[in-house]
Amino acid sequence: MKEKSEIAELYEDLVKRFVQLAERRSDIRGALIVGSRARVEQPADEWADLDIVVFTSDPEYYLTKTDWTKSIGDYWLTFLEPTAAGNETERRVLFEGGLDVDFAIFPLRVYEGFVKNEGLSPEFMAQAVDTFERGVRILVDKDKKLSQFVDKMSSIERIPPHPPNQPEFLQVVNDFLYHALWTAKHLKRGELWWAKMCSDCHMQHLLLRMTEWHAHAMHGWNYDTWFRGRLLEKWADSRVVEGLHSAFAHYDVDDLSRALIEELKLFRWISQETAEKLQYQYPVEADEHVTEWIKTNLLQKKK
């Protein structure tokens, strides 16, 4: 593996070639780096990718053609996927040497919306504020607007998440308990794929949300829980991190059964502590019914 400094230089070479491409093309009006390679706090290590946001009047070209990527560097593969916000599309490119670059392609209407702070949803703007607060590096600013916008966005205080109300809290708890029993039923049926996908995806998503609420309830709603579980090992309660070691399973009925019980146990104490801190009710009786059903039907000894 190359040294961190060597990898950083290789990424910088890609950046330089992208800027050269952008300067040649009149449709690209602005571009900037976001994410770890622009951050001061928790900056990029040798494993970090490169995130470039591109504002263009011809987004279709960058999403349907791949010839432009060749002028940046030799690559192994490329494909499209939704951006993190889900509003637009990005082209992901795996360049030679395993260098991973995400080109988020935004039309000029989004660019103008950024600059004028118009026509963009509150959710989109909230994520933009969070992204810009963590660090941004301007690469191309042909209209001299991005620098003004970055200064403006950097001055806006990030809006902390709000505490869930009692119904929102119960929604997550009941959803989790329901799908715990649902998972157990599919294990009994021998449908390991469905059971594992529910446990590892849907239920873990709910577990993450409760873990975030727990962290905020304990440390305040300005406490930084990053996004989608990023750096969870640093901000979550150490007991959560420890409990997660047992909450995942192999593709095996017995191990999935074991992990499901551990996942229930982990979710239970996180939820109960959160409920106590927020002065909410926890559905103890529903939990007991579900847990007893699972233990009786899933963990009964085979004859």
Weakest-pLDDT range from 28-32, 109-113, 197-201: 109-113
pTM: 0.83
Pair of tokens at residue 134: 């963590």
The whole-angstrom separation of Cα 256 and Cα 251 is 7
The whole-angstrom separation of Cα 152 and Cα 272 is 41
Contact indicator for 31, 55 with CB cutoff of 8 Å: yes
Query: Taking 50 as the threshold, does the pLDDT of residue 143 lie above it?
Result: yes
pLDDT, tens digit, 9 for 90 and up, residues 24-54: 999 999 999 998 888 877 777 888 899 999 9
Q: Is residue 48 classed as helix, strand or coil in its secondary structure? A: coil
φ, ψ for residue 130 (rounded to 5)?
-60, -45
pLDDT, tens digit, 9 for 90 and up, residues 61-93: 999 999 999 999 999 999 999 987 667 899 999
The whole-angstrom separation of Cα 241 and Cα 253 is 24
DSSP 8-state secondary structure symbol assigned to residue 88: S
Sketch out the chain's domains with CATH numbers.
4-155 (3.30.460.10), 166-298 (1.20.120.330)
Contact indicator for 300, 190 with CB cutoff of 8 Å: no
Q: One-letter amino acid identity for 25? A: R
